[in-house]
């Protein structure tokens, strides 16, 4: 083989290896980006979201079993509303992103989301009542504190700033903070 043939062979081999590497990297990226979701958000939150209830409340084994059964039942009951809200939010997003969104359709979708959310909140209140019925009076006090912390974190997206402070005087343009946890700033 002369020099030109060898150079052509090396160039062709190098180009082939680069294309092969790019193809393999693309396949790895595609597999990672398109892996099937491992369960729905409802099922991941459903059964093991508060494993510390047993320890925090000092539940007996029978109480812990009742809590687990009540939680499973609750999440099965609210699943249709959760799915409806997800679909409605997708429709709301689709409508919001078109060139000329229909304000009436947006209002109607928002109203439906609110109706489903209200149904979830009603079921949640009944669920909390059922959990409280399993507890002793001392455990109910602790349950109330745990649920209040949970509701505050959930309301403000688990942001520590919002969890510890709330704003007052918004209508006057004042934004002084008041510690909710008794902390001094």
List, for residues 53-62, the tens digit of each pLDDT value. Answer: 788 888 999 9
pLDDT tens per residue, range 50-107: 456 788 888 999 998 999 999 999 999 999 999 999 999 999 999 999 999 999 999 9
Distance separating alpha carbons of residues 69 and 107, to the nearest angstrom: 37
- On whether residue 118 sits in a domain, the answer given is yes
Pick from 10, 41, 46, 183: nearest CA to 127: 46
Confidence of residue 34 (pLDDT cuts 50, 70, 90): low
Here the CATH number for the domain that contains residue 92 is 1.20.120.1490
Domain count, the chain: 1
In a domain, 68, yes or no: yes
CB-based burial label for 129 (10 Å; 0-12, 13-18, 19+):
exposed
* 55 three-class SS: helix
Place of tokens 């402070």: 165
How far from the centroid of its chain's Cα atoms is residue 132's Cα?
A: 25
Identify the pLDDT of residue 86.
95
In the DSSP assignment, the letter for residue 166 is: E
Range of the domain at 112: 52-135
């Amino acid at each position: 083989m002369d020099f030109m043939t060898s150079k052509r062979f090396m160039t062709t081999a190098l180009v082939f290896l680069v294309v092969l590497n790019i193809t393999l990297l693309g396949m790895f990226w595609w597999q990672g980006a398109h892996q099937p979701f491992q369960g729905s958000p409802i099922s991941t939150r459903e059964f093991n979201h508060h494993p510390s209830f047993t320890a925090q409340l000092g539940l007996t084994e029978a109480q812990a079993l009742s809590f687990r059964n009540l939680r499973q039942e609750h999440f099965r009951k609210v699943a249709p509303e959760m799915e409806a809200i997800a679909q409605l939010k997708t429709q709301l997003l689709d409508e919001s992103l078109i060139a000329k969104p229909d304000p009436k359709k947006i209002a109607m979708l928002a109203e439906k989301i609110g109706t489903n959310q209200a149904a979830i909140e009603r079921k949640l209140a009944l669920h909390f009542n059922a959990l409280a019925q399993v507890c002793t009076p001392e455990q109910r006090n602790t349950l109330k504190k745990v649920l209040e912390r949970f509701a505050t974190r959930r309301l403000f997206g688990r942001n520590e700033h919002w969890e510890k402070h709330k704003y007052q005087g918004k209508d006057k343009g004042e934004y002084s903070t008041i510690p909710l946890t008794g902390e001094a700033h």
